[in-house]
Structure 1
Amino acid sequence: MNIYGASGHGKVVFDILSSRNIQVDSVFDDNTEIEEFLGFKVTHEPNEHQLKAPSILAIGNNTIRKQVARRFTGLIAEAVSHSSAILSKEIELGDGSVVMPGAIINAGSKIGKHCIINSGAVVEHDVRLENFVHIAPNAVLTGNVSVGEGTQVGTGASIIPGIKIGKWAAIGAGTVIIEDIPDFAVVVGNPGKIIKYLNE
């Protein structure tokens, strides 16, 4: 298994793999100033042999993760979860997604590709996450919530049942969402209020 991203997020992905006794073969990063990562020599231009092993894109920024996914020519690994995470057998996890320590994903949920379910987050039953979504630590998504591509749900945010959140939106830390949120909206507060829109 390869890790693409020699950063703090990459360290957590490394721990996830270690918890599952999955060996890390190589670490990639575009930043040529980073030469070493957790004892590995960082590769800036992976060769064909390295790219034959599956890779996790360990990049916390949703936009950059999508950009890298578009141009990456290697194999993408199946989703991985920390051994302490609680996952129903009745869920779908897209390739490249990662589930951090203590996270919970309950029955009927469908998680897209390259998503991050961060430490202690709760994804309740029948939730739908599109590709490149990041659910931050201790956020809670209750039943039947849907979240569009690339949206960031901040630390400790709470979303009541049945809410639909658009693509590439940003939900602030501690925000409580009680109504649907459109694409590109930035939302903060309790209850959540839209304060601006991001550029598409």
Structure 2
Amino acid sequence: MDSKVYLYGASGHCKVVIDVLQSNNQEIQAIFDDYPQSDFLLGIPVASFKERSSYADGKMLIAIGDNSIRKKIAEYLGTAFCSALHPKAIVSQYSKIDVGSVVMAGAVINAAVEIGKHCIINTGAVVEHDCLIANYVHISPNASLAGNVSVGEGSHIGIGATVIQGIKIGKWSIIGAGAVILTDVPDYAVVVGNPGKIIKFKNNE
């Protein structure tokens, strides 16, 4: 477990990440932000990223909910990252979670799941056996993925959405809140409803 952790992004999402880290008794040294709005967030000092050199070395965790911004920052920083798993999450010993990812309280990650870099598995989300979650994905609170689902890079599975077994969701797609996904979803698609229907395509990431 990393003893010194820095966060990037003093946002509302950051507050939840702070709670995850502190639940594991990890010490957060500071929060960096491009445009700090206050000096402290939940008692932790907030500093401009330009001030980073004045702090000791430590691993970074990007505490920003937007997938595309999280990717840009990760590629820009090029630093050592850590991950965060809430102690009240259920994570199979046979699953794999890459660096930079955060798993919130109440989430369930079952056997043979692979989760990429800088993902968010949010509160109460369920990721069943053999799912493959690519980098920069966000699985929102109470969303459920049945077994053998694959989710492409940067996609966002909305709150309370349900994805049946064996589905492939393309990269940088959006699955709306409460949607029920019964068929594969192509890249950049925006899908809503029950059953899920494509309403448009995003132009880019």
1:48 alignment partner in structure 2: 53
Displaced runs of 4 or more, over 6 A: none
1:152 alignment partner in structure 2: 156
- Please list the CA deviations of residues 173-197 of structure 1 after superposition, one character each: whole Å capped at 9, or x if unmatched: 0000000000000000000000000
Alpha-carbon distance, 1:49 to partner: 5.8
**Structure 1 spans left out of the alignment, 5+ residues:** none
1:85 alignment partner in structure 2: 89
RMSD of equivalent CA atoms:
1.2
Q: 1:100 to 1:14 in 2, by over 3 A?
A: same
- Please list the CA deviations of residues 133-155 of structure 1 after superposition, one character each: whole Å capped at 9, or x if unmatched: 00000000000000000000000
CA distance in 2, matches of 1:94, 1:51: 24
- Please list the CA deviations of residues 27-73 of structure 1 after superposition, one character each: whole Å capped at 9, or x if unmatched: 11111334321122311124336362001100000011111111114
1:170 alignment partner in structure 2: 174
CA distance in 2, matches of 1:112, 1:73: 16
Correspondence 1:141 to 2:141: no
Alpha-carbon distance, 1:3 to partner: 1.2
CA distance in 2, matches of 1:74, 1:50: 14
| 3-state secondary structure, aligned to 2:21 | helix
| 3-state secondary structure, aligned to 1:25 | strand
CA distance in 2, matches of 1:124, 1:46: 42
Give the paired residue count.
199
| 3-state secondary structure, aligned to 2:27 | coil
2:119 alignment partner in structure 1: 115
Correspondence 1:5 to 2:9: yes
| AA in 1 matched with 2:144 | V
CA distance in 2, matches of 1:55, 1:150: 20
**TM-score with structure 2 length normalisation?**
0.94
1:161 alignment partner in structure 2: 165
| 3-state secondary structure, aligned to 2:55 | helix
